[in-house]
Structure 1
Amino acid sequence: MTKVFLDTDILFKLARFGLLNHLSVHPIHPDSEFSILGAAKFMLQKKLQKKPPQRGIQQVTAELTDAMQWLNSAEPSETEIEIAAAIEAHAQKHGLAIDSGESLICAMIVNNACNYAMTGDKRALTGIGKVLQESAYKELKEKFICLEQIFLCWLAKLDAIELRKAVCTERDADKSISICFSCSSPEVPSENFIAGLTSNIIFLRKNSGEALTEI
């Protein structure tokens, strides 16, 4: 079983797109077990209330209720909390954009509590790429999956037009993804989506060192 953690940022963006439940039906790894931090669902609700989706908060709330049937809620151990505090202190010292949620997920990877983490936070990925250069955190190498990689995998399995519609309806959820799907243009071939996503992934790899995995 491949244990995958979802950070709040990717929960928020996939919920806005109406694609969160696609992860359980079309996972990146076929044997994936998805988890979130216990506080994530409460933070997600606050973020959605603050920035409600075009489809309406009621519809998204119903989708989240479905998602909670397959999303495991996990809490870090005392050891992982200590590791997270050290990572956060390192991040603050070096001006890296890693918040408390990201540091906890990193700690759980370091402590072998999960295999991968999905994140939609590009600034955090850049910071994690610098943190993993420290020998104490080398387990973070190639453990992260970005939003672009998820969409690239989905394009091989799902209808490209439906994916584009989901993204473009909520284009402000992630501006770089909306650019990849050419939301400002009337009609664009799906090959352009793939090219845009691939280009973004290459750029992220350059900025995040060895944080991203190959999928």
Structure 2
Amino acid sequence: MTERTLIDNDVALKAACYTLVEETVEVLTIDDVAPAMLGVGRFVIAKRIERAKYIMDRNRASAAFSRLLARVLMIEPDDTELSIAADLEAEANRRGLELDGGESQLLAVLANRSCSFLVTGDKRAIVAMSRVAAKEADSRIMCFEQLVACIVSAAGHDNVRVRVCGEPLADRAVTSCFGCSLSEAPDPQYVLDGLASYSRHLNGEAPGVLSREGSFRGLVREKPQTP
């Protein structure tokens, strides 16, 4: 089975924190193939949830992560992919860029297995990819804000906002986009515009690697928004 969509640990962690596991998997399932993550992530993320003081409800996040593990594919890079990843890391280090082992391995899998998307919450890694792996990453990287926008379109603004605002420290940019500090919920378009603004800013720092909206819009069946 060919993996179609890859997710990094940061995305998996935030999906668990926000209890948006089912929504994340639904959006990122392509041709009935569920998203995939590195096998080591199951241990790394479980430990992060256990120790993270910023998570408001660690028990709920842990339960959500267990559901995620039951629904995603667990993969391991092969020897060729490990070699590619090592070369990418070395080049990133040479240039003073931040590309850790997990992100480099996922990028190597993305290129070697012709996957559709790599979804990552690591903005520094995205910038590094644009410098050392522009060809491999070309328009196939989806940042976390793009994913959240897809989930809003699929699941509805109100449904997502209550989850995000319940964990305000999980991602400060997303918390801001949903206006969690406001007394009244902002218009759904305000949220989508905010998410798009972060994506555009990142695209300016890492041109050419982020997925274009048209390439992932077909992943979701839009749900009418509550006024």
TM-score (norm 2): 0.86
Task: Tell me whether 1:150 sits opposite 2:147 in the alignment.
Answer: yes
Mapped contact 1:21–1:63 kept (Cα < 8 A): no
RMSD: 1.7
Partner of 2:164: 167
Structure 2: distance between partners of 1:27 and 1:77:
23
- The 3-state SS of whatever aligns with 1:21 is helix
Tell me, which stretches of 5 or more residues in structure 2 are unaligned?
217-227
- The 3-state SS of whatever aligns with 1:171 is coil
Mapped contact 2:120–2:141 kept (Cα < 8 A): yes
Q: For residues 112-147 of structure 1, give each alpha carbon's deviation from its aligned partner in whole angstroms, at most 9, with x where no partner exists.
A: 2533211011111111111124xxxx1221111111
Residue type of the alignment partner of 2:140: K
Shift of the alpha carbon at 1:101?
0.2
Match runs of 1:108-187 below 5 Å = 108-112=109-113, 114-133=115-134, 138-187=135-184
- The 3-state SS of whatever aligns with 2:197 is helix
Structure 2: distance between partners of 1:112 and 1:27:
17
Deviation >6 Å, runs of 4+: none
Q: For residues 135-174 of structure 1, give each alpha carbon's deviation from its aligned partner in whole angstroms, at most 9, with x where no partner exists.
A: xxx1221111111111111222222122111111111111
Shift of the alpha carbon at 1:70?
1.7
Change (3 A) 1:47 1:76: same
Shift of the alpha carbon at 1:107?
0.9
Structure 2: distance between partners of 1:6 and 1:44:
13
Number of residue equivalences: 210
Partner of 1:213: 211
Structure 2: distance between partners of 1:30 and 1:60:
28
- The 3-state SS of whatever aligns with 2:4 is strand
Aligned identity (percent) is 28
Partner of 2:41: 40
Partner of 1:13: 14
